[in-house]
Amino acid sequence: MVYFLATVLKARMKQLSAATVRLLSSSQVITSVVSVVKELIENSLDARATSIDVKLENYGFDKIEVRDNGEGIKAIDAPVMAVKYYTSKISSHEDLENLTTYGFRGEALGSICCIAEVSITTKTAADNFSTQYVLDGGGHIISQKPSHLGQGTTVTALRLFKNLPVRKQFYSTAKKCKDEIKKIQDLLISYGILKPDVRIVFIHNKISYSIKRLFHPRNV
């Protein structure tokens, strides 16, 4: 009788897989194209970049690329640079009281990796050449090769929301896509005001917008 009841009354609650947990948490951190741009821009500013290029293709769904001339990522840190909750900004909760950086949680890159195809190319002043790292959904390196880029870091995200069809469907109308571009422009203008010594350029579908002349596009 006990066996019969145990068979009939099977538990309905199950523990989610690690991959599902990563996807759900990432979708809370990265909710839009503009949130990807925001996180990557702030990483660049934290790296003391003086020049930042933001490039989008198809409103960011095909490609988002943020390139800077900042300090770059040391090779010793590369294996965990996009793994969630690894960060160079703080070492304990006590550091939060004296925080001077934009980011500190160690969530952004890992969250982007979970919902897009991500590669990172980086070079520090001490490196002889830059290295391109291709990452998996957990932020771990799956391949790497030398690159020709100069000092700084370039983060490229392809096929954003590839595994979140409902989120991608939200941007199914031209109006919503154009609204997102406007939000990105406004975001970059705000950083341009806060950081007047930083050169910021925004490119969407080969149309370039200088932050200082954002409403005067020119073909590139």
The model's pLDDT over 156-206, given as tens digits with 9 standing for 90+, comes to 999 999 988 888 888 888 999 999 999 999 999 999 999 999 999 999 998
Closest to 79 in 3D by CA, of 139, 16, 159, 167: 139
Which tens digits make up the pLDDT trace of 41-65? 999 999 999 999 999 999 999 999 9
Average pLDDT, whole number, for the chain? Answer: 83
Mean pLDDT along residues 114-138: 97
Name 64's Cβ contacts closer than 8 Å, sequence gap at least 6.
33, 36, 37, 40, 54, 55, 56, 116, 156, 157, 160
For each of the domains in the chain, give its residue range(s) and CATH number, in order of start.
17-219 (3.30.565.10)
Give the Cα separation of 129 and 151 in Å (integer). 8
Residue 216 has a pLDDT of: 43
Query: Identity (one letter) of the amino acid at 157?
Result: A
Residue 91 has a pLDDT of: 47
